[in-house]
C-alpha cells in the first residue's frame, strides 16, 4: 500500500486552483543515492519531474531520471505519494524505488543547463542530514525550504521502509 502524506505550506491558500503532478525516484548503487545537483543554485534534489500528457507515473519517473542523469531505470516500488499545498497550487509527487537497467545519455532542458544540473552519487544518510536543515531556508528561500522539506519527508519514509522491508521493499 502506498503511503500518502500532506504538507501545507504557510503560504497555502484555503483552496487550490492549479495542480502539478510529478514523479521522483530513489536510485541506490554501491550504498550511494543518485542526486540531481544544481550547481549554480546549490540545490540537491531526488531526480524527477513533471508528468506529461498521457504519461503514466512510472514512465514519467523513468524518463525524468534518464533525462537528468543518463541512467535508464525501472521503477520497482511506488512507496509514497506526497501532496503539497503552496499558494494556489497542489503539488502531487509520487516516489518510487528504482533499479538501474543501463546507462544512456543525459538530455537536459535549457533550464536544467542554466541551473548547472549534474548527477552525483551521495550517501543517503548525508542527504537526510542536509534535508533535515530545511527550516534554515525559511527566511531566505521558501522554494528551497519547501523542496528540502519534501525530500526530507520522502527520504525519512524510504529509511523506514528499508529498515522494515516487509512493508514493501521487494528489490
CA 45 to chain CA mean position, Å: 6
The rounded percent of the chain whose pLDDT value lies above 90 is: 89
Identify whether 151 is part of a domain. no
What DSSP character marks residue 34?
E
State how far the Cα of 138 lies from the Cα of 39, in Å rounded to an integer.
21
Mean pLDDT over 161-170 rounds to 61
**Does residue 165 form part of some domain?**
no
Share of the chain above pLDDT 70, in %: 95
| Residue 132 located in a structural domain | no
23 or 163: which leads in pLDDT: 23
Q: Is residue 16 part of a domain?
A: yes
Residue-averaged pLDDT of the chain: 93
Predicted local confidence at residue 167, as pLDDT: 44
Residue 127 near residue 155 (C-beta atoms within 8 A):
yes
109-118, 119-128, 160-169: which has the minimum mean pLDDT?
A: 160-169
- Is residue 49 situated within a structural domain? yes
Task: Record the pTM.
Answer: 0.92
What is the C-alpha separation between 65 and 100, in angstroms, rounded? 10
Q: Taking Cα atoms as reference points, which of 134, 123, 112, 19 lies closest to residue 65? A: 112
Residue 166 confidence class, pLDDT cut points 50, 70, 90:
low
pLDDT score for 165: 57
Q: Do you know the residue count of the chain?
A: 171
The three grid cell numbers given for residue 12, joined into one nine-digit string: 497555502
What are the pLDDT digits (tens) for 4-27? 999 998 889 999 999 999 999 999
Q: Tell me the per-residue pLDDT of 46-83, one tens digit each, with 9 for 90 and over.
A: 999 999 999 999 999 999 999 999 999 999 999 999 99
> Which residues sit opposite 96 in a β-bridge?
25, 78
For residue 65, the enclosing domain spans 3-123
CA 48/CA 68 separation, integer angstroms: 8
> Is 158 inside a domain boundary?
no
Total count of domains within the chain: 1
**For residue 116, what is the domain's CATH number?**
3.90.79.10
Contact 4, 81 (CB under 8 A): yes
Whether 112 is covered by a domain: the verdict is: yes
Under a CB-based contact definition with an 8 Å cutoff, are residues 151 and 137 in contact? no
Task: Transcribe 145-171 into DSSP letters.
Answer: HHHHHHHHHHHHHHHHHHHSGGGT---
Asked whether the predicted pLDDT for residue 90 surpasses 50, the reply is yes
- Cα separation of 75 and 96, whole Å? 6
Domain for residue 21, yes or no?
yes
Amino acid at each position: 500500500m502506498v503511503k500518502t502524506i500532506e504538507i501545507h505550506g504557510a503560504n497555502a491558500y484555503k483552496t487550490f486552483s492549479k495542480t502539478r503532478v510529478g514523479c521522483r525516484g530513489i536510485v541506490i548503487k554501491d550504498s550511494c543515492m543518485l542526486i540531481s545537483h544544481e550547481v549554480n543554485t546549490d540545490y540537491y534534489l531526488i531526480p524527477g519531474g513533471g508528468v506529461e500528457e498521457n504519461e503514466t507515473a512510472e514512465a514519467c519517473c523513468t524518463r525524468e531520471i534518464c533525462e537528468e542523469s543518463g541512467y535508464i531505470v525501472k521503477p520497482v516500488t511506488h512507496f509514497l505519494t506526497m501532496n503539497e499545498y503552496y499558494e494556489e497550487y497542489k503539488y502531487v509527487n509520487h516516489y518510487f524505488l528504482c533499479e538501474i537497467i543501463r546507462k544512456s545519455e543525459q538530455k537536459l532542458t535549457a533550464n536544467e543547463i542554466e541551473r548547472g544540473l549534474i548527477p552525483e552519487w551521495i550517501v543517503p544518510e548525508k542527504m537526510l542530514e542536509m534535508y533535515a536543515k530545511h527550516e534554515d531556508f525559511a527566511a531566505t528561500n521558501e522554494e528551497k525550504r519547501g523542496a528540502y522539506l519534501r525530500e526530507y519527508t520522502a527520504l525519512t519514509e524510504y529509511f523506514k521502509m528499508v529498515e522494515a522491508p516487509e512493508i514493501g521493499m521487494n528489490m
